[in-house]
Copies of this chain bind each other. A is one copy, B any other.
């Protein structure tokens, strides 16, 4: 039978844009039935479902997202708006977060709609997303200590999940956060246990909620050990390598310089090590270092090795967080009546070479 393979994919033929109508005509079925078959509705018999599916595959039929979106009101896209800090700095953590998230999205057939905007312009973008129905939901990055975005999103009824959290009514919306307070308390305690009393905190921007929580953990540990907090030992800024370097130089130039440094991210920590080396000091011997580690992929060992890592760190995978946040958001979009999901992850302390070996 000469037509037996007429449905087979043809690489050579410029794939004529086949649509539902044509497909249903070819099959001798109505558009309704074909649509339902393809979307797995129960009111179509298994026999025809298979037949339809095969024809669709063979003819390389791909439903138009615009048309589907117009008909359903769903876009199958998630908005991520990435803040650009004042110094045109774009936080490298996002790429890893997005890599994790995109895994979950891909599995569910969703796309990422990305916008980058100076911090503060995010609200307009959310409004735009909502009123034009451009996305089905958004994830909120880098919540500030006061965070108008959360109330806004609630009021415009756009599903969202916060990476981090902010405000007091944290049970009224979905979020996933690392237990930053606990992480930095434990990290600080570890340094104290090793005999340090003058400990510096090279923190992130303290307009960020996570930075404030880290500082609180840091100070809680000091207080628990009756060490007076000294504000000269605390600094905060965008987490660049250069900042870590300069902060370290400044710290070690103090009269009573700290003997241990805690970094909010591995990038400034690397800058710190560079500064130490310039000063002829060795990390882990002359000065102890602990850093928070988001397990950025481009700073990892290429093969998950046995060698002890360089930095002693408080560690949690930002890729894993991205994946989970995405899953939470999709779940919420699927069932908008579900109650908010909250997850607080504990970071893990990893022994490295920048603190005393135990």
A residues contacting B by CB (< 8 A) are: 14-15, 17, 60, 62-67, 69-70, 75, 77, 80, 82, 84, 87-92, 94-96, 98-99, 102-103, 106, 111-117, 128, 131-134, 155-157, 237-243, 267, 270, 273-274, 277, 296-303, 310, 319
Contacts and interface: CB of A to CB of B under 8 A. Distances in A.
Interface SS of chain A: mixed
A98 B131 CA distance: 25
A294 B121 CA distance: 27
Nearest to A17: B131
Contacts of A106: 115-117
B65 A131 contact: no
Nearest to A84: B99
A325 B209 CA distance: 35
B237 A296 contact: no
B66 A75 contact: yes
A298 B102 contact: no
A66 B155 CA distance: 23
B89 A238 contact: no
Given A17-B133, A238-B302, A240-B298, 13 more contacts: A62-B131, A66-B66, A66-B69, A84-B99, A89-B297, A90-B99, A92-B95, A103-B116, A111-B113, A111-B114, A114-B114, A240-B300, A240-B302
